Each structure stands twice: as structure tokens, then as C-alpha cells.
Amino acid sequence: MHAQDVREELQSLADPKKAKIMKRFFKTGPGQYGEGDVFMGVVVPKSRQVAKKFGDLSYAEVKVLLDSSVHEERLVALLILVQNYGRASGNEKESIVRFYLRNTDKINNWDLVDLSSPGILGAHLMYSNRGLLFRLAKSDNVWERRMAIVATLHFIRNDDFSDTLKLAKMLLQDRHDLIHKATGWMLREVGKRNLAVEELFVGRYYRVMPRTMLRYAIERFPVRKKRRYMKTE
């Protein structure tokens, strides 16, 4: 089982029309956050199927996929790591996390982060020291900062909100729209589990929140309450 087998499988699923749409959607133009990323036009459910089929790929072969310029090849590599983490033993989990962190430069678009960080970093740190996430949140790399906040989705799903809120506070001054969106999304997820906790945070910080972050956070609020929070002071 080799990386080339995965490439051939993905190529059989490629859709040039979808690839064109994805290139626009993931901002691959000059100066955009996904500049130069290459798409085949394979949708995520199909990529998941490929990852499941090739789950026994070695680290060396996964690394070949992660080093690829093709977005879907990197995605399948990450999905393999996520599914393998879920069934691994303690030592093997540690190895997967170390491998993941050594290759963060390849995890360089928002979907790659969002589909891997909760299931690897979030799951791994659920009952451990979470200092790593606060270090990542200070990174100059936007994708590492996004990893930090999105990893907490795993905590949120276990009704643990404290580090999501601490990281959200840290990221209030972040300048990147992709961090605003991710942080607002995580706050909204907190609200799905405990609306009072989210409202307390929003009520305290809405005046200094980036507008995109605020819009994402209060998306599920009643219209009247949304208007109150979004009103320009």
C-alpha cells in the first residue's frame, strides 16, 4: 500500500468542474490565503472513503501525501491520521501527535485544520496539559493559531469550555479574518451546549470583538438580541 495508490484512487474520483469551484472557494489566487493550492475536485465524503480504504498507510507514505501540492492528497493524509489516532494505543497516539506537529506547514488551509485538529490535538489534550494550544495561539502562522482554537471543539463536545474561552479572549485582537471566523464558530458551539456561558462571554467582550467574530458567535441568537449586540456604539 503506497501513496501512489491513493493518488490513483483520488484521480479516479476527480471532477474538473468541482476543482474550478474549489479553487475559488479556497482562495487560491495571487495574494490570497490559499495561493497556489491545487485541487482535483474530490469532495470530502469521497476523501473520507479513500482515507478509510488506505488507513494502513505507513508514516513514510502519509508524509509523501502531506508533501503534495494537491489539496485532496494532503486532506486524505490528515484524515488517515485522525482515524488512526482514534483507534491507537497510548504510545501510538503520542507518535501521531508528534508527526502532526512536525508537519503543520502542510496543514495550510482552513478545511485541513478543521477536519484534523479536533480529532488529534483536541482529543489528545482532553485530559492533559493544554499549554501547547496557548503556544500555538501565539504563532505567527495563521493555520497554527486556527488549530489552537478549533482543537477545542473536542473539549466543547465534552462540556468543557474554559480553554475555549481563554483562547477566544487571547484572539480578540487577532487581525486575520480566518481566526475571527473560527473563534466565533467555537463560541457559537459553546452556546449550543450552554447558552448562558456563551452569553456571558459575548456580553463582556462584544464591544471589542471583531465584527466577523461577533456575527459568527451570535448567529443563533434571537433577532432582537443580535441587533443589540451588533449595534454600533
As a three-state string, the secondary structure of 32-65 is: CCCCCCECCCCCHHHHHHHHHHCCCCCHHHHHHH
pLDDT confidence of residue 90: 83
For 70, the 3-state DSSP assignment is strand
Average pLDDT across each block of 10 residues of the chain; the chain has 233 residues. List them in order. 92 94 90 90 96 93 96 97 92 95 95 97 94 97 98 98 98 96 98 96 95 95 90 59
pLDDT confidence of residue 231: 80
pLDDT confidence of residue 233: 44
Decide if 124 contacts 93 (C-beta within 8 A).
Answer: yes
* Widest CA span in the chain: 60
Residue 46: count other Cβ atoms within 10 Å of its Cβ. 18
Instruction: Report how far apart, in Å, the C-alpha atoms of 143 and of each of 102, 117, 148, 222 are.
Output: 14, 10, 9, 32
CA 127 to chain centre: 20
pLDDT confidence of residue 29: 86
Q: Where are the beta strands (DSSP E) in 169-213?
A: none
What is the pTM (predicted TM-score) of this model? 0.93
Across-strand partners of 38? 70
The domains located in the chain, with CATH, are: 1-115 (1.25.10.90), 129-233 (1.25.10.90)
